[in-house]
């Protein structure tokens, strides 16, 4: 039990305000897992003629790859000092949205009639909204940094 609590504390500390290392790890994880998800859709489900599941994994793989890379880029921009005084809401929205959207699609593809699939299926649209909201926040923060606070070079 003590080991589990320590692991939970370590994971939560990675996503603290001043430490954004967790976002890079999470983004890199999703990029890596997206390759495997795409391969599973192409080679496993398509071979078994489960085309609907293969298409879900294809979508999940594409979004996981793009959003995982976006998460790493946003974190790098924060490290370079672009948004130094702002909380990492875009990174948080991307992290949660990526899990709900891509994770929900994977659950629907691999185990369509399971409790996990039924639990995550309603979360897929909410995950998509969070992915979009992350980039809306990025746009607002960028406009504020460049035009409102006068850091336009």
The total domain count for the chain is 1
CB burial of residue 150 (10 Å; 0-12, 13-18, 19+): exposed
Does some domain include residue 135? yes
Q: Look at 2 and 105; give whichever has higher pLDDT.
A: 105
Q: What are 84's two structure tokens?
A: 């130094």
pLDDT at 32: 93
What DSSP letter does each residue of 101-142 carry, written as one string? HHHHHHHHHH-TTSHHHHHHTTHHHHHHHHHHHHHHHHHHHH
pLDDT at 153: 41
Does some domain include residue 139? yes
pLDDT at 121: 82
Q: How many residues are given for the chain?
A: 153
Does some domain include residue 149? no
pLDDT at 151: 61
What is the average pLDDT across 94-111? Answer: 89
What is the average pLDDT across 56-66? Answer: 91
Does some domain include residue 150? no
Predicted TM-score (pTM) above 0.85 = no
Q: Is the dihedral of CA 135, 32, 29, 100 positive or negative?
A: positive
Question: What range defines the domain where residue 11 resides?
Answer: 2-144
144 DSSP 8-state letter: I
Residues 70-102 have pLDDT tens digits of: 999 988 888 887 777 778 889 989 999 999 999
What whole-number distance in Å separates Cα of residue 47 and Cα of residue 60? 18
Does residue 115 register a pLDDT over 80?
yes
CB burial of residue 83 (10 Å; 0-12, 13-18, 19+): buried
Does residue 142 register a pLDDT over 60?
yes
Does some domain include residue 151? no
pLDDT at 47: 74
């Amino acid at each position: 039990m003590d080991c589990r609590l320590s692991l939970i504390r370590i994971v939560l500390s990675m996503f603290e305000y001043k430490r954004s290392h967790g976002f890079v790890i999470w983004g890199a994880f999703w990029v890596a897992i997206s390759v495997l998800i795409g391969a599973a859709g192409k080679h496993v489900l398509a071979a078994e003629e489960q085309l609907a599941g293969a298409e879900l994994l294809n979508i999940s793989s594409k979004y996981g790859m793009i959003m995982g890379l976006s998460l790493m880029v946003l974190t790098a921009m924060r490290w370079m000092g672009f948004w130094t005084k702002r909380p990492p809401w875009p990174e948080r929205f991307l992290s949660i949205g990526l899990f709900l959207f891509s994770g929900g699609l994977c659950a629907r593809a691999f185990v369509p009639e399971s409790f996990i699939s039924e639990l995550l299926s309603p979360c897929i649209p909410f995950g998509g909204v969070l992915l979009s909201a992350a980039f809306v926040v990025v746009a607002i923060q960028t406009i504020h940094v460049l035009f409102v606070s006068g850091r336009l070079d």
